[in-house]
Structure 1
Amino acid sequence: MKRELELYLHIPFCVRKCNYCDFFSASGTKEELNAYVQALCKEINRYKDFAKEYIVKTVFLGGGTPSLLTADQMKLIFENLNQIFTIDPVAEITMEMNPGTVNIEKLRSYKQAGINRVSIGLQSTENKELKMLGRIHTYEDFLNTWEAVEQVGFKNRNIDLMSALPGQTLKSWENTLRKILTLNPEHISAYSLILEEGTNFYEWYCKGQFDAGDWKLPSEDDEYTMGEMTIQMLESCGMHRYEISNYAYPGKECRHNLGYWDRVEYLGIGAGAASLISIQNKNTSEIQEQIRFNHVKNRDKYIQTINQKQAIEIEHEYLTLENQMEEFMYLGLRKTAGISKNKFHKFFGKEIGEVYGNIIKRLEEDELIISKEDNLMLTHRGMDISNYVLSEFLLS
């Protein structure tokens, strides 16, 4: 029986780097993007033997801005994917896109190539906030993109939103949520801003630019209130919170991200992409060990290395049993449904209490986690301080 696999394709190109973004991406010429796509297809063809063991359940094109790809480039990528991999006929195939980078013709070609889920990076409906973020679009640009997405007939649509922005108020965040809910998207990802080192925002924060005036960061109390407002408003419309920052109507949860949190094997394709692959005993089909590796994080070097038929994998890490247990806990507990104690025993041959008994007892006493039959999950309060709670499950 073939094993399940997720594919992630990284497109590290964007029109302009946003002020908060620390992802591996940058602007580039049409020629550079075309050379990258050609190298990407060559990499895909490297996996001919590897792919025989798997059936692909989800595909995700992220970036960067994958919607910078032309119709012909997208068609070429999927022609190569379908030649090499067995892709489930009902696979979830997601592409990230930015408002203003697509039109109806391009969207139709994407859908024809195989895309059946779109994730649109809006962040805010307030143009003042979008400008401050360094986004290339306005709210009106987003509405035009949304109308095109609807006309083409996509039925599985995510909108990315961001709270706790410099200068953002409770009222402006409420306005963003209300406007988006009138559009009735199937899925909403609502993240709180994190000031990542190496970004413009981080540099400006260190210089005190966010301390006062129009760029003042919301208080901790206001940030908390924004989070509670998000939960209440989305749940009142029938969207349930299935992960710390993700909400969906029943059946519209992002299957690709659920796979990450459940530690399904995934293969990253492209510069800077990461992978998690299990090495299986051919006689017993049991997992012997797991390996995590990344690809070279430089577009020019990636293209050159692919064209020279050399290895692009770097930073190999063989996961110990302890590593795997840690990931099972701190990734799985991101889901509101939590983790299964029986699955823990099945995967690792130990009862969860043998490994985490004292930690679980203490966190239960602090009302940060709760057990419900087979499941162990974060409480509402545990979700609020999830970084602390999840870090308690690190064994080393």
Structure 2
Amino acid sequence: MTEKLGIYIHIPFCRSKCDYCDFYSLAGKEDRMDDYQKALLAHIKETAPFAKGYQVDTIYFGGGTPSFYGEKRIAELVRAVKKRFDVSREAEVTMEANPDSVDAKMLRRLRRAGVNRISLGAQTACDQELRAIHRPHTFEQTCQAVAAVREAKIKNLSLDLIYGLPGQDMASWQESVEQILALKPEHLSCYGLKVEEGTPLWQRVSRGEVLPDDDTQADMYLWMVDRLEQAGYRQYEISNFAQCGYQSRHNLKYWMGKPYLGLGPGAHSDFGGRRYSFIKDLDGYISGVLEGGAVIDESELIPKRERGGEYLMLRMRTTRGIEEWEYRRQYYMNFEPIEQKLAEFEHHGWAARQDTRWHFTPQGFLISNQLIGELLEVQEKAALSELLPKARAAFGKKKPGDEGKKPEN
């Protein structure tokens, strides 16, 4: 059976930077777009031979703001991937977009080129909250963008939302969710605001600006999970919800440990047993690809045992969770200590068992970093307990002729 592969293409250009964003993206660099396009096309051609024997079933344009990059460039990149790689006819092809940088004409061209899924950064339905984080659009523009997606006959739409924004309270969050539900997207990604060091928002908080606290964010999250379930959106990952059949196939590759290739500055890959990333330097990436310079930032082979840790860390982000014999079969490791810890979590209401699979509850997802850390600690102890007897047996064997010798002082 042909192994499936995802391709991620990073578009680092933005009209403006939002106050909370710490992704590698740049404003005011439009003059580098043409050179960047040449570099991406060259990198696609260079990379494709290594993917022989794989079939690409997801392509994802992330950023930055890919819609700001322009439909002609995106369409050219889609065509290049289809020419160089074995791309499934049913491939999911996603483009991230901001509401202020799409229209129906543009989206029709992209649909004809093969883009069949749009991920739109709505973030909130409250214009005051949008201004507070310097988003370059209004909620009215979000509504217009959704209408343009539908006019272009794109049938798979995802909307992003953020809770915990400056000035946001439970009432405004609930109103945002209701207004977003009225737009009837097929998919929703709902994230708690994180204040990343070095961002303008971090500087604002350092100067004393107050944001909704952890308890308020927890209440927002739990209310949202319940409300989205009522509206027909099934939770399948900590922050992701979808109508039946509309889970993000590309993002599931990350959480399920499937192979993917990334292209562009700051893009990550997990391919051929190796994880690697490219330098976060637009000019360096362009010159490196086109002139033969170094563009790899970090690269490492991932041992099987470490993959076992990733299995716990990534799968427990999803509502599918983990399963004993899946774990034993893939990693040859003892599941019993992990199951004992999960049973403790179940007692507190943080985890649940469905048939043979364990997963976190919404309450568990709220503290998933802590819980996954405990599972990894248990896994490490179990691994050591298995290795020590083998090590003692190996080092404790006597060499031929040593029998009867007294130990040296």
Q: Fold match, TM over 0.5? A: yes
Corresponding letter in the other structure for 1:80: A
Corresponding letter in the other structure for 2:212: P
The aligned counterpart of 2:277 is 294
Corresponding letter in the other structure for 2:289: I
The correspondence of residues 99-138 of structure 1 with structure 2, limited to 5 A, is 99-138=99-138
The aligned counterpart of 2:169 is 169
Per-residue deviation, 1:361: 4.5
The aligned counterpart of 2:185 is 185
Asked whether the equivalents of residues 13 and 30 of structure 2 are also in contact (C-alpha less than 8 Å), the reply is: no
Corresponding letter in the other structure for 1:384: L
Corresponding letter in the other structure for 1:319: I
Q: Structure 1: which 5+ residue stretches go unaligned?
A: 211-216, 279-289
Closer, same or farther: CA 370–304 of 1 in aligned 2, 3 Å:
same
Q: Tell me which of 308, 331, 344 is aligned to 1:348.
A: 331
Closer, same or farther: CA 233–365 of 1 in aligned 2, 3 Å:
closer
The aligned counterpart of 1:376 is 358
The aligned counterpart of 2:224 is 230
Q: Tell me which of 237, 248, 255 is aligned to 1:254.
A: 248
The aligned counterpart of 1:273 is 267
Task: Report the more deviating stretch, 8-17 or 73-82.
Answer: 73-82
Asked whether the equivalents of residues 51 and 84 of structure 1 are also in contact (C-alpha less than 8 Å), the reply is: no
Asked whether the equivalents of residues 368 and 379 of structure 1 are also in contact (C-alpha less than 8 Å), the reply is: yes
Paired with 1:113 and 1:69, the residues of 2 have a C-alpha distance of 15
Asked whether the equivalents of residues 278 and 297 of structure 2 are also in contact (C-alpha less than 8 Å), the reply is: yes
Query: Going by fraction, where is helix more abundant, 1 or 2?
Result: 2
Task: Report the more deviating stretch, 66-75 or 152-161.
Answer: 66-75
The aligned counterpart of 2:86 is 86
Paired with 1:171 and 1:65, the residues of 2 have a C-alpha distance of 30
Q: Tell me which of 337, 343, 348 is aligned to 2:320.
A: 337
Q: Which runs of 4+ in 1 moved over 4 A?
A: none
The aligned counterpart of 1:304 is 287
Closer, same or farther: CA 276–69 of 1 in aligned 2, 3 Å:
same
Paired with 1:187 and 1:114, the residues of 2 have a C-alpha distance of 19
Paired with 1:254 and 1:361, the residues of 2 have a C-alpha distance of 30
Per-residue deviation, 1:298: 0.2
Please give the per-residue CA displacement for 1:13-47, whole angstroms capped at 9, x wherever unaligned.
10111000000001134331111111011000012
Task: Report the more deviating stretch, 380-389 or 129-138.
Answer: 380-389
3-state SS of 1:394 partner: helix
Paired with 2:71 and 2:246, the residues of 1 have a C-alpha distance of 26
TM-score (norm 2): 0.89
Corresponding letter in the other structure for 1:272: G
How many matched pairs? Answer: 378
Paired with 1:165 and 1:380, the residues of 2 have a C-alpha distance of 21
Q: Structure 2: which 5+ residue stretches go unaligned?
A: 381-409
Per-residue deviation, 1:50: 0.8
Corresponding position: 1:328 with 2:311: yes
Per-residue deviation, 1:150: 0.9
TM-score (norm 1): 0.92
Per-residue deviation, 1:103: 1.5
The aligned counterpart of 1:61 is 61
